[in-house]
Amino acid sequence: MSKQGSLVDALRKEDLKPAKADEHDAGFNPVCRYVSPCRTGKKPMTVWFEADVIKQLKMIGLQEGMTIQSMTGEALNDFFSKHNKSRIVR
C-alpha cells in the first residue's frame, strides 16, 4: 500500500506550477467570459441599505422613468460636484 502525501505537500506542488496565461489577462472570469458591451471598462459596486431605502429608490425610479443605475450616477455626480470633482458618471 502506497503512502499518500500530505495536503500541505500537494498544495505546495500546486503553487509551484506556472499559471495559465488566461488567468493573468485582464477581465479573466472562469465562470463567464462574455461581458456585455455596455459593461466593458466598468466595475461593479455593491452597497447595502435598509429595505425602506431600496423601496423608496424604486418608487422614485418608477415615477421618474429612471433606472437605479441612472439615479445612482446622478447622485454620484452631485456628490463629486459638492467635493469640487469632475462629474464623470455618464
Q: Which amino acid is at 47?
A: V
- Name the pTM for this structure: 0.58
Q: Residue 17 pLDDT > 70, yes or no? A: no
Q: Residue 13 pLDDT > 90, yes or no? A: no
pLDDT at 47: 94
pLDDT at 68: 94
HEC string of 3-64 equals CCCCHHHHHHHHHHCCCCHHHHCCCCCCCCCCCCHHHCCCCCCCCCCCHHHHHHHHHHHHHH
pLDDT at 35: 83
33-82 per-position pLDDT tens digit: 788 898 888 999 999 999 999 999 999 999 999 999 999 999 999 999 99
